[in-house]
Amino acid sequence: MALIKSISGIRGTIGGIVNENLTPVNAVKFAAAYGMWLKGQNPNPSLSIILGRDARISGEMISNLVANTLTGLGINVIDIGLSTTPTVEVAVTLDRVDGGIIITASHNPKEWNALKLLNNKGEFLNAVEGEKILKIAEEENFLFSEVDDLGKYEKKEGYINRHIEEVLKLNLVDIEAIKKAKFKVVVDAVNSTGGIAIPALLEKLGVECVKLYCEPNGHFPHNPEPLKEHLTDIAALVVKENANFGIVVDPDVDRLAIICEDGSMFGEEYTLVACADYVLGKTKGNTVSNLSSSRALKDITLKHGGTYKASAVGEVNVVELMKTTNAIIGGEGNGGIIYPAAHYGRDSLVGVALFLSHLANAEISCKKLRESYPDYYMSKSKIELTPQIDVDEILQKIAQKFSHEKPNCIDGVKIDFEKKWVHLRKSNTEPIIRIYTESITQNKADELAEKFISEIQAFL
């Protein structure tokens, strides 16, 4: 089992030993650290945060611990209960509160849970802020409030509906075209809160929804990461129901994958590509994704006359670069859509609405839409090293050897060749180099990965 502390939060497996797993003690300690940081950021004596959770079995327990810890620090807690990550992000801005916490381990299996931390803009904390919270948690210099100064706790409902209304207000969400198309869609929400949010959104858009695993009970019927090997049930049901396509979201609904009408994968990498194609076709502008995302987004951006930039891996890094470059859409190749007209966070509800608008306007099938985009294939592998090996030194040597290719070194080493690329990143928790490659065929992507495994081994 495991407990992972990072600048983006704390996550781990439920039960076990304190400081080795996500125990109640660890949840309280980290919530207190966030609360102390929040109080240090704002002299306002009456701070408030939004608290929401996905449907994990441990969610209510962790949520209660977090809420009680924060009220103990004198911070008011608005508990919106079962929710989605983007819903909490939107709620922070709608209610103009001072921060937010989502209790979710995203795509990790059911034994995992985590605390995702937001600032007063409903955005994830940056690296500097995350480091401060980790330091506060380590030092344990918490100052709790006296009895007359305890924070207030209240439960409030209706935030998913408020989120949906915000999505429907977006100028590029073509409600009439979607309704006219009379789509039939299958939804796999892995028995989490997407089972509440996505069908409700589809109903508002006049889309017939066939539900698969939409009961928010936290019992995930398959591995919740929306990858091809986990999606055989929905692929079969899309064909059986003669649906136009399938929608898959992860437990906290910030990743979106699409299944074509024949049961084939549209591809997580291509969710962002399709949404960007639609947005760029309506509004000229720039895009951003991370270094490990498909080159297809760059191709589509250039086709529309925009500029594409790549950030370091991590949502907060994508958002930062999007702001710097005034990007009108961006995200990550894992199916995360960030559309600033809505908010700066990955949002599957926004992604679904944009994708439906695109398909309705294009008046073609999901499969035909996918075939209209350039074909790229990815390979993801890793090489395990001994703890004594200096991973940074190896990556520096790789960069030097391929300096003529002008490698990007903002996050590991990314080397762009004419029809392929490789991205080498070190793990933050293990002596591992992760190797991501992409090319025009799967064989070529795999061959490129093997080539760079050999390059690394030559320096050992």
- The residues annotated as belonging to the active site are 106
Over residues 400-417, mean pLDDT: 96
pLDDT at 442: 95
| Local confidence band at 104 (pLDDT 50, 70, 90 cut-offs) | very high
Query: By percentage, how much of the chain surpasses pLDDT 70?
Result: 99
Same domain flag for 196 and 170: yes
Give every CB contact of residue 323 below 8 A, 6+ residues apart in sequence. 344
Residue 240 tokens, joined = 């059986």
CA distance linking residue 347 with residue 345, whole number of Å: 6
pLDDT at 51: 98
CA distance linking residue 414 with residue 435, whole number of Å: 10
- Using DSSP's 3-state secondary structure scheme, residue 347 falls into coil
Same domain flag for 102 and 238: no
pLDDT at 84: 98
pLDDT at 207: 98
Same domain flag for 190 and 301: yes
> Which of 371, 403, 421 is at the close of a domain?
371
CA 415 to chain centre: 25
CA distance linking residue 192 with residue 197, whole number of Å: 10
Residue 331 has pLDDT above 60, yes or no: yes
Same domain flag for 367 and 419: no
> Which of 127, 157, 187 is at the close of a domain?
157
pLDDT at 400: 96
Residue 457 has pLDDT above 80, yes or no: yes
pTM of the model: 0.95
Same domain flag for 412 and 360: no
Residue 192 has pLDDT above 70, yes or no: yes
pLDDT at 319: 97
Residue 29 has pLDDT above 90, yes or no: yes
Q: What is the pLDDT of residues 132-181, one digit of tens each?
A: 999 999 999 999 999 999 999 999 999 999 999 999 999 999 999 999 99
| Local confidence band at 234 (pLDDT 50, 70, 90 cut-offs) | very high
Pair 49, 70: CB distance under 8 Å: yes
Over residues 219-223, mean pLDDT: 96
Pair 278, 300: CB distance under 8 Å: no
Same domain flag for 397 and 304: no
pLDDT at 376: 96
Q: What is the pLDDT of residues 266-280, one digit of tens each?
A: 999 999 999 999 999
Report the CATH number that the domain containing residue 387 is assigned in CATH: 3.30.310.50
Give every CB contact of residue 111 below 8 A, 6+ residues apart in sequence. 1, 13, 14, 15
Residue 430 has pLDDT above 80, yes or no: no
Report the CATH number that the domain containing residue 184 is assigned in CATH: 3.40.120.10
CA distance linking residue 383 with residue 275, whole number of Å: 34
Over residues 288-295, mean pLDDT: 96
Query: By percentage, how much of the chain surpasses pLDDT 90?
Result: 91
Same domain flag for 395 and 354: no
Residue carrying the six token digits 């049961």: 263
pLDDT at 302: 98
pLDDT at 1: 54
Tally of domains within the chain:
3
Same domain flag for 203 and 334: yes
Same domain flag for 29 and 61: yes
Residue carrying the six token digits 């408030």: 48
Residue carrying the six token digits 């309506």: 282
Residue 246 has pLDDT above 60, yes or no: yes
Residue 429 has pLDDT above 70, yes or no: no
| Local confidence band at 389 (pLDDT 50, 70, 90 cut-offs) | confident
Which structural domain range is residue 43 located in?
Answer: 3-157
Pair 232, 259: CB distance under 8 Å: no
Residue 327 sits at φ, ψ, to 5 deg, of -65, 140
pLDDT at 460: 84
Residue 95 sits at φ, ψ, to 5 deg, of -95, -5
Q: What is the pLDDT of residues 70-79, one digit of tens each?
A: 999 999 999 9
What average pLDDT is seen over the chain?
A: 95
Over residues 339-354, mean pLDDT: 98
> Which of 371, 405, 429 is at the close of a domain?
371
Same domain flag for 58 and 180: no
| Local confidence band at 4 (pLDDT 50, 70, 90 cut-offs) | confident
Same domain flag for 347 and 225: yes
Q: What is the pLDDT of residues 39-56, one digit of tens each?
A: 999 878 899 999 999 999
Over residues 369-377, mean pLDDT: 96
| Local confidence band at 320 (pLDDT 50, 70, 90 cut-offs) | very high
Same domain flag for 257 and 145: no
